[in-house]
Amino acid sequence: GCVKAGLRGALIVLEGCDRSGKSTQCSKLVERLVQEGRQVLLMRFPDRTTPIGQMIDSYLQQTVELDDHVVHLLFSSNRWEAMRKMTELLQSGTTIIVDRYAYSGVAYSAAKGLSVDWCRQPDVGLLKPDKVLYITVSPEKAAERGQFGTERYEKLDFQQKVNNMFLYLKDPSYWQTVSGEGSIDVVHAEIYKLATQTIKESEHLPLLKLWT
């Protein structure tokens, strides 16, 4: 294995709209890093397995209605409840690959009309990712990948608003855009290259906090 004493793991987030290929790419990346003998963990937000996550799941499946502010705070709480575990893992040398994070939180809620500034506040102080890989696909390409599902937010006009919010939020100091339009293997090769660079660069850097 490649577990080096004293070095921390990297926090790497994949973001993007629905059907950008995020989840596929997260799994492929983690699989490859595990094969190489690295300490790595895949996480996703929302984490639907916790009590808060189950409330979010019911909201997404449209079996309950919640005020936009309420559900925004639930998504944020669902990240906060993972922070202790994530901090300990990173400090003990485990790299964490995360499928969606606070950027989805702000982008989806702001696309519904909440203020960006208000939306950021509950996530201030969360662990700051070492790298955000923003996967882009054109609406045409996304449409080729089949019909949207039946969950809340899975509508073309809403996804376009979300995409615009992501572009507004992106911070070039630690975000990188990756085209999600190539084959799964081509996109994977690019993500793998950026992820392994990030792991190397982050080893000796302090863990920072979001939006402070």
**Residues lying near ligand FDM in the complex (CB under 6 A):** 45-46, 60, 75, 100, 104-105, 108, 153
Handedness of CA 2, 133, 208, 48 (dihedral sign): negative
- Region label for 181, one of left (φ > 0), alpha (ψ between -120 and 50) or beta (otherwise): alpha
Give min distance, CB of 46 to ligand FDM, in A: 5
Whole-number minimum distance, CB 4 to ligand FDM, in Å?
31
Return the number of the residue (112 or 203) whose C-beta is nearest ligand FDM.
112
- Judged by beta carbon, residue 45 or residue 134, the one nearer ligand FDM is 45
Instruction: Specify whether the CB–CB gap between 40 and 30 falls below 8 A.
Output: yes
Q: Which is nearer to ligand FDM, 27 or 39 (CB)?
A: 27
Question: Which residue, 9 or 46, has its beta carbon nearer to ligand FDM?
Answer: 46
Count H helices and E strands in the chain, helices first.
Answer: 9, 5
Tokens 């070492």 found at = 130
Q: Fill in the DSSP letter of residue 46.
A: S
Q: How far is the CB of 59 from ligand FDM (least distance, A)?
A: 9
* Distance of closest approach, residue 204 Cβ to ligand FDM, in angstroms: 29
* Residue nearer to ligand FDM on the CB measure, 45 or 166: 45
Distance of CA 75 to the CA centre of its chain: 12
Helix axes 102-111, 156-169, angle to 10 degrees: 130
Secondary structure of 75-135 in HEC code, one letter for each residue: HHHHHHCCHHHHHHHHHCCCEEEEECCHHHHHHHHHHCCCCHHHHHHHHCCCECCCEEEEE
Q: Could you tell me the smallest distance in angstroms from the CB atom of residue 198 to ligand FDM?
A: 21
Taking the least distance from each CB to ligand FDM, the nearer of 109 and 202 is 109
Q: How far is CA 201 from the centre of its chain?
A: 20
> Tokens for 14?
């994949």
